Structure 1
Amino acid sequence: MHNDFPAWLRIEHWLNVLFVTLLIRSGIEILGTHPKLYWRDHSRLGTEWARFTRKTMPKDKLYDTLDEEEDYSPIVSLPGHKKIGIGRHWHFFTVVGWLLLGISYVILLFATGQWRRYLPTSWDIFPAAWHDLVTYDRFQLPPMMPGQPFDALQKLTYAGVIFVLAPFQILTGLAQAPALEARFPWFVQMWGGRQAARSLHYLGLLAFVVFTAGHLMMITFWGWPRLNALMIFGSARDLTLAFWLSLAIIAAIVAVHVAVTVWSLRSPRSVQRRLGAFNGVVKRLLLRPCRSRQDYPVSAISPQHRVNGKPPDCDAYKIMAVHDFANWELRVGGLVENPVTLTLADIRALRGKQTQCVLHNCVQGWSSVGKWGGLPLRDLVELVRPLPEARYICFLTMQENRRDEPSAPGVGGGQFYEVIDLELAYYPQVLLAYEMNGEPLPIKHGAPLRLRLETQVGFKMAKWIEQIEFVADYSKIGMGMGGWREDNAYFDKDVEI
């Protein structure tokens, strides 16, 4: 094994720096929307093991999780300033690039024999690595391994990052995808639950940061000019030129970060459209086929289900609530053969009630387990018989957005709405819920009727529904992005992850 690094390895090394730093910054933006970490799926207030906020929530009035969001600086997060929708676009766009880069890296490692540079071929490396650690502790440099540009401890560290830490981050990230959690509940439980996976994912991020700091320190100890030249030219030559070229590469990486941050803050709609188009194709191919198969035991039900979105405050809603929604009506129409108007009693009388005990995933990161009961959406679809041109279902609600929903510049209130693809209505465990945990649906969780769509994150599950429309196109509804959060907070319409 020669000390020289092949060209493909050097190129992918610098691309990896770009991808990992983008992932870290966009990950911090996502963390900021619910800056607390838990080990249990209940995400119960006060049980967090780590918090990155100084906010304290009031005990004498209703608040929702939007009130808990933090506004992080663009210096540390991408793009910063409470733009989780844009942060999600960058995180998922970058992770696809990082994953493809990693796959090509591993393939080339084994195709070219470079894997011997990183993977141990003898158990002797472990006592040698311990000896190296003791040597470093004495502020001395251990010997290099024969024919290799680093010592035994460094080799084990690189092997751990490439073949353990990187896959660990990918798997714990996937364990937070509602579509995969719904289709393969055992997968998320393998990590100890959804919140445990989220916490482990964060610890993995810290491990990358620690590795990067240690990596730079080792380069300094062993001789920055020579090792830097190895990663620029593949051999220890033209040390001065290599130094300046490395600074130029680092400057280019910083410039990319500045450019995408400025673009994201100045033209978030442009970022949403372009990155969302790419991410949407990937999600439809890999995650859309997932059908929910959850069946949590009743003992797993969370003692407290957090609130997202404040209930309607108008007099009409309050009067209906006082009378147990006896006068509430659901209007279902649009591109259908049989438009109907249904009372809550009518909905309860339609066929048999379906119940499901499932894991709820909020886009902000918290979760809980609840038992929901109601009408399968497919039964309503069969009742109204959509016309051939109908492709989407629009849920219109009584929620007043000016009270708590994030808005785009210059936008005030408006009726909260969400759009889903018609095909999702036929998936199992897609429910118009009027019960929660064996009781009538609470007001704070969407009474009298809310949507349950277990393969997507919580904001798609419209609450306080009053009207359902079947449409051929949603581009003329609101700002045309597929929902209130999509219009005003730049989320993607399909949120299986």
Structure 2
Amino acid sequence: MNQATRTPPSGTQSRWVRFGIYAGGAVVLLALLVLGARWLTGTGPGADFMADYPGHVPLPPSAPVGLPAWLGWQHFLNAFFLVLMVQTGWKVRTTQRPAAHWVRNNKGLLKTKKAPKRISLDLWLHLSLDVLWVVNGLVFLVLLFTTGQWRRIVPTSWDIVPNAVSAGLQYLSLNWPLENGWVNYNSLQLLTYFLTVFIAAPLAIITGLRMSSIWPSKAKKLNRVYPIEAARAVHFPVMLYFVLFVIAHVTLVLSTGALRNLNHMFAARDAQGWLGFVIFAIAVVVMVGASLLARPIFVGPIASLMGKVSR
């Protein structure tokens, strides 16, 4: 009798198997971290540490209380641009044969001796969104510093470090810190917001600029100091950081008092009503709709206003 041969798994099956292994490993690791945090916080030294560092530090007396309305629409615009930038950036990274290309108009003030470079329409949209995101970020920074809101997300004491560790242990032990984001963020939130605004965002900008076509390719000394390989090695991990930040941020917002948190973020009020949720729902619909419309058939006519689109 001939022994039956097994059919090797297809590529799709293999990917699902790997996904199942990674997902199972992540669940096991998370369970171990939760158990470890609950054990540690239940010990004498752990309890003393939590008592000495409750998870937040007092803000400077000059720090404002509450979240202004401009922060709500800035929050939406940042999320809107970020979702589309990640989507188009992923397409640029993974698409082998783009559905359409774009070439800049070489006339008028933009006319140069060098022929314009042809790029994919996905890359054009990605770069255009980058510009809008940077402009919006500059507006955000101006408002942040002129209104004093920067004092809520910039560390002013080294006590922020052990308190951030304490807040992290509280999250991991599922005994989440009692907080009021309208008045003061916990230390882990504060450090995360600081990292996102003042480190991750600038890294995304300077690495994206190095990879773009506007970078001076003939500046040999500058290119040796800042090679494009270094920019590529940083740009993608920064994108992953933003994705993980959004996932964790939305999860915690919805699981630690959704109505109140959404009112803080979208309605500029410290209340339990549904206004913030309604605005948030509308914002999600707008972002999903824009994501679905980010296709050549819809993007092409807009891009053709600034160049030639070819399919």
Which category describes the TM-score, using the shorter chain as reference length?
A: 0.5 to 0.7
- Number of aligned pairs? 232
TM-aligned CA deviation for residue 91 of structure 1: 1.0
Q: How does 1:333-482 map to 2 (within 5 A)?
A: 481=308
- For 1:251, the equivalent position in structure 2 comes to 285
Q: Secondary structure at the match of 2:155?
A: coil
Task: Work out the CA distance in 1 between the residues paired with 2:272 and 2:178.
Answer: 25
Give the 3 Å change call, closer, same or farther, for CA 185–149 of structure 1 in structure 2.
farther
- For 1:122, the equivalent position in structure 2 comes to 157
Is this contact kept in 1: 2:179–2:185, CA < 8 A?
yes
Is this contact kept in 1: 2:80–2:287, CA < 8 A?
yes
Residue number among 291, 297, 300 corresponding to 1:265 in the alignment: 297
Task: Work out the CA distance in 2 between the residues paired with 1:238 and 1:134.
Answer: 28
Give the 3 Å change call, closer, same or farther, for CA 130–117 of structure 1 in structure 2.
same
Task: Work out the CA distance in 2 between the residues paired with 1:210 and 1:19.
Answer: 16
Quote the RMSD (CA, aligned, Å).
Answer: 2.5
Amino acid at match of 2:80: L
Amino acid at match of 2:123: R
Is this contact kept in 1: 2:84–2:129, CA < 8 A?
yes
Residue number among 90, 96, 99 corresponding to 2:131 in the alignment: 96
Amino acid at match of 1:180: W
Task: Work out the CA distance in 1 between the residues paired with 2:92 and 2:156.
Answer: 40
Give the 3 Å change call, closer, same or farther, for CA 179–225 of structure 1 in structure 2.
closer
Task: Work out the CA distance in 2 between the residues paired with 1:154 and 1:204.
Answer: 18
Q: Is 1:15 aligned with 2:81?
A: no
TM-aligned CA deviation for residue 249 of structure 1: 1.8
- For 1:233, the equivalent position in structure 2 comes to 267
Amino acid at match of 1:14: F
TM-aligned CA deviation for residue 179 of structure 1: 4.6
TM-aligned CA deviation for residue 124 of structure 1: 1.2
Is this contact kept in 1: 2:262–2:280, CA < 8 A?
yes
Amino acid at match of 1:4: G
Is this contact kept in 2: 1:29–1:82, CA < 8 A?
no
Which structure is larger by alpha-carbon Rg, 1 or 2? 1
Is this contact kept in 2: 1:172–1:198, CA < 8 A?
yes
Q: Secondary structure at the match of 1:239?
A: coil
TM-aligned CA deviation for residue 82 of structure 1: 6.7
Higher relative contact order (CA closer than 8 Å, sequence separation 6+): 2
TM-aligned CA deviation for residue 8 of structure 1: 1.0
Amino acid at match of 1:273: S
Residue number among 200, 204, 210 corresponding to 2:238 in the alignment: 204
Structure 2: state its 5+ residue gaps: 1-62, 102-118
Q: Is 1:32 aligned with 2:66?
A: no
Task: Work out the CA distance in 1 between the residues paired with 2:247 and 2:223.
Answer: 31
TM-score (norm. length: structure 1): 0.43
1:322-344 C-alpha deviation (Å, 9 max, x unpaired): xxxxxxxxxxxxxxxxxxxxxxx
Q: Larger % of strand: which?
A: 1
Give the 3 Å change call, closer, same or farther, for CA 219–189 of structure 1 in structure 2.
farther
Is this contact kept in 1: 2:164–2:187, CA < 8 A?
yes
TM-score (norm. length: structure 2): 0.67
1:22-47 C-alpha deviation (Å, 9 max, x unpaired): 111111121124xxxxxxxxxxxxxx
1:254-303 C-alpha deviation (Å, 9 max, x unpaired): 22223343xx23673x23312x35xxxxxxxxxxxxxxxxxxxxxxxxxx
Task: Work out the CA distance in 1 between the residues paired with 2:92 and 2:251.
Answer: 29
- For 1:213, the equivalent position in structure 2 comes to 247
Is this contact kept in 1: 2:267–2:275, CA < 8 A?
no
